[in-house]
Structure 1
Amino acid sequence: MYEQALDAVRANYTPLSPNTFLKRAARVYPNHPSVVHGAKRFTWGETYTRVRKLASALSKRGIGHLDTVAIMGANTPEMYEATFAVPMAGAVINTLNVRLDAEAIAFCLNHGEAKLLLTDTEFAPTVKAALALIGRDIPVIDIVDSEAGHEHVTLGETDYESLLAEGDEDYPWDLPKDEWQAISLNYTSGTTGDPKGVVYHHRGAYLNAVSNAVGWNMAHHPVYLWTLPMFHCNGWC
């Protein structure tokens, strides 16, 4: 009898996904600080709004189920927002190792079948060389970090904030139907040949994040300096 009328439905089952962390934080602590980056300050409510706008803008540009969106960026609000927004749009985020050379970056973009690239202007020389090697056109969005002390050389058709302006802050996103759906694609540094791709799923990313919070004995509202590059396992481990 236990296999009759007891199938998983919305009333008794929710796919595990890190995106639920952000949704809850915005609902419970909308005015609490979420991200501090130099002079920039965001609350959880603001971060959630920006993430939904980015997810919406990506969807409007044709990014959807299991498409790969690559990002070449430092630990900035844009990287943090993309980590949630890309899977919110149903796609897979590929955070590129900023220490790789142009040839390795080109390999990752082609092997991962990236359909769009977000790139910090700090890495413009490497990205420009990589784009010349891949043999196809990829839409490029520039991340212009106002807190960075370098010259901004742009490569894309528009910048990140302009992309956000295209999105809807009420974007009706949903969790994946299957928690085993891919959420991120990460590559090794290619020390023994071409970089090797590793795929995370929503369930694994969620459980890894929870285990870190438990293992760290994380208290309420911790404030800490995020030193681990977010291209390392997306910061979930």
Structure 2
Amino acid sequence: MDQLPKCDANYVPLTPINFLKRAAKVYGNRLSVVHERTHFTWQQTYERCLRLADSLRSFNIAKNDVVSVLAPNIPALYEMHFAVPMAGGVINAINTRLNPNHVATILRHSEAKVFFVDYQFVQLARQALQIMMTSESISSKLVLPSVVLIDDIESPTGAIFGEWEYEQLVRKGNPGYIPYEVQDEWDPIALNYTSGTTSEPKRSCL
């Protein structure tokens, strides 16, 4: 039994991407998201995630690159848990109740390449980025992440922060994008940090 190799017939790595793909195929017309007046079916959710993943590739997201997001429980955050791994990246969902110093620490430590920010937390994100730029302990090689605003999906506020808005990325992405396939369950797809810690946040890779 020790000589039994992995192959398509006996092994498939379990990932959320596979769950979403199957749900879109089997239950495509059933609801997957209900958020106030916003409703998406499984097929719509799958297509939106493919589009977003394709757009993320334009940020040069490669395998194991971190994409951070500062947002409450909204459809965009849900979609990013699929779209980021589809692009080969690692999603880092940041607790919205953290202070600017801890947010800055997480962005710096994770080396996030892209930072998605919900419109309600622009001030917090701006303060965190400012701390990153002014901290004396930061290496001169620090590269700030690209910033993407997540506006209200139902009633856009017109807020401006960063070069892109979330729905713009969804619209411009290719629905025929072929997602990155996780080859091994040891490959990371999520990076979480502790909250309420007595020192700096500690990370846990999933």
**TM > 0.5 between the two?**
yes
Q: Is the Cα contact below 8 Å between 1:94 and 1:186 reproduced in 2? A: yes
Distance, in Å, in 2 between the alignment partners of 1:147 and 1:48 is: 20
Partner residue of 2:72 out of 62, 74, 82: 74
1:53 deviates by 0.6
Task: Give the aligned partner of residue 113 of structure 1.
Answer: 111
Q: Is the Cα contact below 8 Å between 2:85 and 2:180 reproduced in 1? A: no
- 1:124/1:152 Cα in 2 relative to 1: closer, same or farther (>3 Å)? farther
Spell out the pairing of 1:1-237 with structure 2 (5 A cutoff). 2-4=1-3, 6-135=4-133, 136-147=143-154, 153-200=159-206
Distance, in Å, in 2 between the alignment partners of 1:196 and 1:152 is: 35
Q: After the TM superposition, which parts of structure 1 deviate over 4 Å for at least 4 consecutive aligned residues?
A: none
Length-normalised TM-score, structure 1: 0.79
Equivalent residue letter for 1:105: V
Q: Deviations over 1:169-205 (max 9, x none)?
A: 11111421111111111111142110111111xxxxx
1:12 deviates by 2.1
- Percent identity between matched residues is 43
Equivalent residue letter for 2:10: N
Contiguous gaps of at least 5 residues in structure 1: 201-237
- 1:126/1:49 Cα in 2 relative to 1: closer, same or farther (>3 Å)? same
- 1:139/1:88 Cα in 2 relative to 1: closer, same or farther (>3 Å)? same
Distance, in Å, in 2 between the alignment partners of 1:170 and 1:147 is: 26
Q: Is the Cα contact below 8 Å between 1:188 and 1:197 reproduced in 2? A: yes
How many residues are paired up?
197
Contiguous gaps of at least 5 residues in structure 2: 134-142
Q: Is the Cα contact below 8 Å between 1:15 and 1:175 reproduced in 2? A: no
Q: Deviations over 1:110-165 (max 9, x none)?
A: 001100011101001110111111134221110001447x9653211010011112
